[in-house]
Structures are given as structure tokens and as C-alpha cells.
């Protein structure tokens, strides 16, 4: 089940007023987090370029790439990406493990009257593990795991109405060097045709699609 990199043209159109107002409030809260140095309690939280993320999600929505409207963000932080997806009409989920970020993202969404579901946990579903070896992160799958329903195992998160093979687009901002691991994990749990949008830093994004294995 190969992964194909997708070249998608992004147009930086004017932001809708509701999106602009939301990002203004979100960025004000995030700036305050850093100005008061409360971010030191969550050192792994580094925001991406959320305005560009909106343009990417909007372009994906208007393209023929996305098969449906279920969005899942791995490591949702302040929930900005998940809220932007919701504003675009996606059924939106954020997966986050840091309690303070979960509380802040839920409050931001509530104050903005945006429907999202933020789930408290890491993004490895039950049965999967991330092993940090000398050669980098390695994905450990459940014993005898093969993709599909034939083994009766469908990766999911408690509190999420969709299984992972029902998610149409995943988004993640991984640590440097983790992109290969993320794509391996995406390949293991996503359905054929699903998309994975990765923020690479420095305003760069990569878009990938899981394609059907011709020998399957």
C-alpha cells in the first residue's frame, strides 16, 4: 500500500471574516502563553503557520482528493488546526496528551462556538507502540497485525465516533526526523485514499495519499 506525495496548488485567498476573527483570538492566547513563559510547561508545543494550514485545508476540500469530511489531528496543541477544519465543514477531532493544552483548546473552541472533539491521549492507538531505537523511531504494530477488517482489529480512539480507517485527512506537525515514522504509521492505520498533511516547518507542507497496493 504505497504512499504518494501530492502536488497541490495553494492559493492564498483572503481569509473569511469568521476565520480571521478566530485566528486573531487564538494567536492572542498563544502569544500570551509564550510571553508569560507558561509554554515552558509544555516544551513540545510549537505552533505551525495556521493561516497557511487553513489555505491547505481549503484547497484539499475543493479538490477531488479528499473522499469525505472526517479530520483528525495528531498532537492538536491549542486546537487551532482542528477548529479551522471544523470551520471548513469537517467532522473534526484533535488528539492531545498535555492536560493544559487540552483545557486551553477546549475553552478556545467553546468561546469561539466551534464544534470539535479534543481527545486526551497520545496518538498511538491500543496495540501500537513507538520504540525509540538508535536508528530513530520505530513503529511496533500489534502482534500478527495486517491492515483491514479480516483480522477483526480496527485501530480507534475511545471518544472518537470514527475508526482511524474512516478518517479522510490526518494532520501532524512532527519533530524533525520523524516524518518517515509518521508516514509509516499513517500507512498502517489509514484507509486507501486517505490523506496525510504534514507541516515540515518554515512554512512548508507536504501532502501524502495512501494508494491501493496493485499486488493486494
Cβ contact 60:208 at 8 Å: no
Given a cut of 50, the residues of the chain with pLDDT beneath it are: 150, 215
Share of the chain above pLDDT 90, in %: 70
User: Which helix (H) or strand (E) element contains residue 200?
Assistant: strand 195-201
What's the whole-model pTM score? 0.91
Say what the pLDDT of residue 147 is: 62
Give the per-residue pLDDT at 152.
Answer: 58
Give kind and range of the element (H or E) at residue 104.
helix 99-111
* Tens of pLDDT, residues 94-144: 999 999 999 999 999 999 999 999 999 999 988 888 877 656 678 888 876
End-to-end, the C-alpha distance of the chain in Å comes to: 8
Residue ranges per structural domain of the chain? 3-122+160-210
Provide the CA 187 distance to its chain's centre, in angstroms: 14
pLDDT at res. 137: 77
Cβ within 8 Å of residue 29, ≥6 positions away: 78, 104, 108
Q: Which CATH architecture has domain 3-122+160-210?
A: 3-Layer(aba) Sandwich (3.40)
Amino acid at each position: 500500500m504505497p504512499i504518494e506525495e501530492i502536488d497541490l496548488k495553494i492559493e492564498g485567498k483572503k481569509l473569511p471574516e469568521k476565520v480571521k476573527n478566530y485566528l486573531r483570538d487564538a494567536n492572542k492566547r498563544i502569544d500570551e502563553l509564550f510571553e508569560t513563559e507558561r509554554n515552558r510547561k509544555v516544551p513540545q508545543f510549537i505552533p505551525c503557520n495556521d493561516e497557511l494550514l487553513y489555505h491547505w485545508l481549503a484547497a484539499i476540500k475543493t479538490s477531488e482528493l479528499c473522499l469525505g469530511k472526517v479530520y483528525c489531528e495528531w498532537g492538536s496543541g491549542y486546537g487551532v488546526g482542528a477548529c479551522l477544519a471544523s470551520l471548513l465543514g469537517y467532522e473534526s477531532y484533535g488528539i492531545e496528551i498535555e492536560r493544559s493544552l487540552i483545557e486551553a483548546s477546549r475553552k478556545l473552541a467553546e468561546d469561539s462556538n466551534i464544534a470539535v472533539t479534543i481527545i486526551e491521549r497520545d496518538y498511538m492507538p491500543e496495540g501500537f507502540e513507538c520504540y525509540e531505537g538508535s536508528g530513530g523511531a520505530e513503529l511496533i504494530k500489534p502482534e500478527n497485525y495486517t491492515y483491514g477488517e479480516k483480522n477483526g482489529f480496527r485501530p480507534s480512539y475511545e471518544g472518537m465516533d470514527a475508526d482511524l480507517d474512516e478518517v479522510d485527512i490526518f494532520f501532524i506537525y512532527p519533530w524533525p526526523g520523524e516524518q518517515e515514522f509518521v508516514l509509516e504509521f499513517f500507512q498502517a492505520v489509514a484507509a486507501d485514499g486517505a490523506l496525510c498533511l504534514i507541516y515540515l516547518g518554515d512554512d512548508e507542507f507536504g501532502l501524502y495519499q495512501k494508494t491501493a497496493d496493485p499486488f493486494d
